[in-house]
Amino acid sequence: MDKKLFNFKCWPILSLLAIAIACEKGGQLHPVDNENDPANKEGPKSVVYIEVNNHNLLNAGSYTLAQSGKQLFDIAIVFASNINYDADQEKAVLHHNENVTQVLENRNVIIKPLQDKGIKVLLSILGNHQGVGIANFTSRSAAHNFALQLADAVNAYDLDGIDFDDEYARYGENGQPAANDSSFVMLVEELRQLIPDKIISLYDIGPAASNTEWQGKRAGDYINYSWQAYYGNYGAPNIAGLTDKNNLGPAAVWIHQQPSSEASAAALAQRTIDEEYGIFLYYDLPQTNSSAYLSSITNVLYGEGTEMSGDSYPWPIP
């Protein structure tokens, strides 16, 4: 993960107005703008991860389809918070770095404007080289404890759900147990009970993605979506219990890294349409205008190009 570059410039006056309005309304829950609700467009859901160490989450709301004016992205994912190990408490704990913290604690001007446009905002959970992860809980109580921390974050910041990314955990190191076949299933079962109406998704990678059935329980009975984890590749996730093509994303692109030619991004989009899958995944939306690149995909997915109809937001907040 490249997390080094920052960009500075003044934010538009609109952001200041948004702060004032949010304060006046006392943190009112987000209304949905049905006119621009991404769900109104036909075709696969467009899901985007945004590296908030480098880029502003708000840019997910700056792209619309050129003719219909519909929002391009259906789901924007804050990448990423971590699952850490607290030696004093001897348990896994949820950790937000300073950039994720800035996003969450400024939800009224970073998260809420996206939700007002109908875009769902999820928080991604990633390993952090400490030996613990979502695939090595050894008891239901431990899984429940971490699920409770996740649910508390979702409720505290009015998020639309949690995304799991089982990378960088280093299972078996730092005196921690190896990954097992029960952990992830227990975790999503516990989390679903705590956030019954929210989204739970899985980036299809790591031991968690390989252990999705345990004692007759299936991860797919508790999660909503899963998508491809290898950019430039094609292949639907194989998650026990999650079989509806509308909930699977077989294709993924790293924006500006995969060629937009017929050999790559556009071809992945075409295959997604041909095989009738319901999700297309994008990674690392930058501050720069990416409408030309995105159009190579959306012309296939939706029959129209993409334009940057909103502002280009810098990061971090000046």
Phi, psi of 253 (to 5 degrees): -130, 145
As beta bridge partners, residue 214 has 217
What DSSP string describes 188-229? HHHHHHHSTTSEEEEES-HHHHH--EETTEEGGGT-SEEE--
As beta bridge partners, residue 39 has none
Q: Is 98 a catalytic residue?
A: no
Phi-psi map region of 274: left, alpha, beta (phi>0 left; psi -120 to 50 alpha): alpha
Out of 167, 276, 304, 307, the active site residue is 167
Phi, psi of 223 (to 5 degrees): -105, 160
Q: Are 270 and 296 in contact (CB under 8 A)?
A: no
Q: Are 255 and 285 in contact (CB under 8 A)?
A: yes
The neighbour count for residue 178, using CB atoms within 10 Å, is 12
Q: Are 64 and 71 in contact (CB under 8 A)?
A: yes
Name the one residue in this structure whose structure tokens are 């939800």. 107
Amino acid identity for residue 293 in this structure: Y
Alpha carbon 199 to chain centroid, angstroms: 10
Reading the block at residue 289, the tokens are: 């205008």
CA angle 174, 229, 82 (to 5 degrees): 35
3-state SS string over 260-287? CCCCCHHHHHHHHHHCCCCEEEEECCCC
What residues act catalytically?
167
